[in-house]
Structure 1
Amino acid sequence: MAEKKTKPGAKAEKPTAPAPDPRFSVEKLTGFQRYRGRSDLLPALLGKKKKYTVAEADAAIERFMKGRVN
């Protein structure tokens, strides 16, 4: 395999860490098109003072929807 050549005095590239997923307040999430049909459910499932990623909001809804019905 060929090695990558660098110029003398050039700074070595540091591997970049992936950017963290953006976090949103519950109020912001309820305004998303994705949650239009469930905008009343999010405030009931998620805390108001904390911020959540879209994946966390989706997981909370999924856990609720899979819950048992008595």
Structure 2
Amino acid sequence: MLYLTLAMLVCLLVAGGVVLYVAYPHRGEKVPGVPWLGDAMGRAASGAPTLDEDEVELLRQR
């Protein structure tokens, strides 16, 4: 029962983080109350690997 409770808590924290990111930093706004968290999320998102337009076209051709 303890493992289930901890797993649900982790799932809720991750889901809350995703909602918080989509609601504020993804749209270019500051997170009210905890601006450091929004800055950290923005840095993490900009550091994530993305596909360039050329790579997208190559994948579409396959």
Give the TM-score taking structure 1 as reference length: 0.28
Structure ranking higher on relative contact order (CA contacts 8 Å, 6+ apart): 1
Q: As a proportion of its length, which structure holds more helix?
A: 2
